[in-house]
Structure 1
């Protein structure tokens, strides 16, 4: 299997959250990765892992990862363990790290976001994470509740606030004016 930079970041991010939060199951993991990618996109215009998230009833879900966790790829070996454990009459997929986190794949900004998310959601339950992603004006709520596009892609562009978009447009216009003046 060919491993790309985004794939390595995904594996390391999962490992980081497994080592730095409590009770990490797949629902909590999906929400942490969503917040990581959408926060970084809002700040830089690029996600960290490159995954796409879809508006499912319990919140944003990275469908490719969700499907992969049914039979994890070999590159998870020695990195993370995904184990089904009984919890209140149901089975919960838990995530644990098998080796130390390697931060060399991340920028300072990405590491800061990882750390802030782990700190903020350290003791948060999966149910509380679902509630956080369902807040009004967040991308999941817009796609699932307002637009009624259930199970559909949540565009990264929705992480941008109207003011952010206006500032970016103004910045582009300013650059074009500067280039026009310098070019004369």
Structure 2
């Protein structure tokens, strides 16, 4: 019996392949930031992430801890899709990501594909340091969790991708719904 791969996992693997094909200098740090922007921007616009990864506020920015741990020993579903190799650079060893097969767009919506294209174009030539700077900007979720709240290594909630007024509206809507449901039950 084959391994069951869910839709989000397929999207993760294909997203990594896409970024490997469409950007330069794709290492672990840059990859994590691109995935973060993909997921958090899509969540802000639609209410759901693309890959379903959970991100944590680490010193270098948002990190999908599960993927970070996995890259030490990538699972069989990466075989034939991506290669992760350590290379020596002037700044030390870097885990690089290379695509081994063509990107398959069939798993993605038009909005997701547009977002992949936009992020790849915007950060095509960026290096890890530039990517870190982009995720550390004030008012972004990582900055709020890590710097303002001092909750180092804490999970970054997707709801933080929403603008403050949208977030508050959503909370009020949930409270209103819960209030209505509780009144209907009584």
- TM superposition score normalised by structure 1: 0.90
Q: What's 1:62 paired with?
A: 64
Unaligned runs of 5+ in 2: 175-186
Pairing partner for 2:6 from 4, 7, 11: 4
Q: What's 2:179 paired with?
A: none
Give CA deviations for 1:123-157 in whole Å, capped at 9, x if unaligned: 01110000000000000000000000000100000
- Work out the CA distance in 2 between the residues paired with 1:107 and 1:89: 38
For residue 167 of structure 1, report the CA deviation from its aligned partner.
5.9
- Work out the CA distance in 2 between the residues paired with 1:21 and 1:128: 14
- Work out the CA distance in 2 between the residues paired with 1:2 and 1:25: 28
For residue 162 of structure 1, report the CA deviation from its aligned partner.
1.5
Q: What's 2:83 paired with?
A: 81
- Work out the CA distance in 1 between the residues paired with 2:34 and 2:92: 22
Unaligned runs of 5+ in 1: 173-184
Moved beyond 2 Å, runs of 4+: 163-172
C-alpha RMSD of matched pairs (Å): 1.8
Aligned positions, number: 174
Q: How does 1:116-155 map to 2 (within 5 A)?
A: 116-155=118-157
1:30 and 2:32 matched = yes
1:18 and 2:48 matched = no
- TM superposition score normalised by structure 2: 0.89
- Work out the CA distance in 1 between the residues paired with 2:52 and 2:168: 25
- Work out the CA distance in 2 between the residues paired with 1:127 and 1:67: 21
